[in-house]
Amino acid sequence: MKRILTMQDISCLGKCSITIALPVLSAMGVETVILPTAVLSTHTMFKNFTVKDLTDQLIPIARHWKSENVHFDAIYTGYLGSAEEIEIAKRVFDMFRADDTLLFVDPVMGDNGRLYPAFDMDYAALNAGLCNGVDIIVPNITEACFMTGTEYREAYGRDYIVSLLGRLSGLGAGVSILTGVSLSPGKTGVMGYDRRDGTFFEYQNDRVDAAYHGTGDLFSSACVGAVLRGKTLQEAVKIAADYTAHTIRVTLENPDKPWYGVDFEKTLPDLIESLRPEAE
């Protein structure tokens, strides 16, 4: 069984970061080791959340694993709460990067043209540094703009996305995948650029008119999980995009109208099904 390390916060209530990554990756048949950067009562879209920072625990935990000779097939970073945590993520990469370790960075820091409240331009620059030399990065358009100093646009054409991917690729990752990209009216999905062979790829779904917290984490977890289960990157992107879109649709049908996260628990069986060779 493949083993992944994921470094992000635990938002106890809210369905994002580790409370998405752990169940999704485990369900996909990947052993998931967590490095929790902080414990929050909820994610930061709630009011009055509490935070217990765990920064001082991260290197001691990693050193312990090192002494146990643990090998990771992938390391996946998500929401990192501070500049110091980004530095620690780099150290964790250095400590555990073997020839066959996939480094997957989701530089979580904003959406809809804005950074989340905890972050500023300096943080965005540090996140850009974290992308250098890793295998795959999966920012949304907002995050890509902040990391590359590009003007954010609500309305754009393919040229804007191609140029943003070019700049993103200049940060030094092997493959850059932009999420939340609409290439034609009524559609949304991803567009990526593989620097290693100079190719672009894209995958679009029908747009569902709803925005839920944690869907970026859902896409990232499903994508890296599918790669670890032997899918090609393009297959993985399709599986993850379809799973995310399907989960949003199912959540919209919930009469309780959940507002803080998606009903991914209901759709996990479909994700597992999509990993079967005959499902493609």
Interface with ligand PXL in residues 217-236 (CB under 6 A):
217
Nearer to ligand PXL, 85 or 194 (CB): 85
Cβ–Cβ < 8 Å for 203, 242: no
Q: Which of 25, 27, 37, 43 binds ligand PXL (CB under 6 A)?
A: 43
- Stretches 60-68, 121-129, 163-171, 210-218: which one binds ligand PXL (CB under 6 A)? 210-218
Task: Give the DSSP letter string of 240-272.
Answer: HHHHHHHHHHHHHT-TT---SS--HHHHHHHHH
Closest CB to ligand PXL among 15 and 229? 15
Please tell me the count of residues contacting ligand PXL according to CB under 6 A: 15
Burial class (CB within 10 angstroms; exposed 0-12, middle 13-18, buried 19+) of 133: middle
Give the residue, chosen from 5, 9, 93, 194, that forms a contact with ligand PXL under the rule CB under 6 A.
9
Which window, 8-16, 67-75, 138-146, 190-198, contacts ligand PXL (CB under 6 A)?
Answer: 8-16
> Token pair of 36, please?
């929790």
The separation between CA 107 and the C-alpha centre of its own chain, rounded to angstroms, equals: 7
Q: How far is the CB of 59 from ligand PXL (least distance, A)?
A: 21
- Member of 5, 25, 74, 79 binding ligand PXL (CB under 6 A): 79
Report the amino acid identity of residue 2.
Answer: K
Ranges within 83-122 binding ligand PXL (CB under 6 A):
108, 116
Query: Which among 219, 224, 220 has a CA at the least distance from the CA of 242?
Result: 219
Contact 71, 215 (CB under 8 A): no
At 82, list the tokens: 């501070």
Q: Is 25 in the site for ligand PXL (CB under 6 A)?
A: no
Q: Footprint of ligand PXL on this chain (CB under 6 A)?
A: 9, 11, 16-17, 40, 43-45, 79, 108, 116, 213-214, 216-217
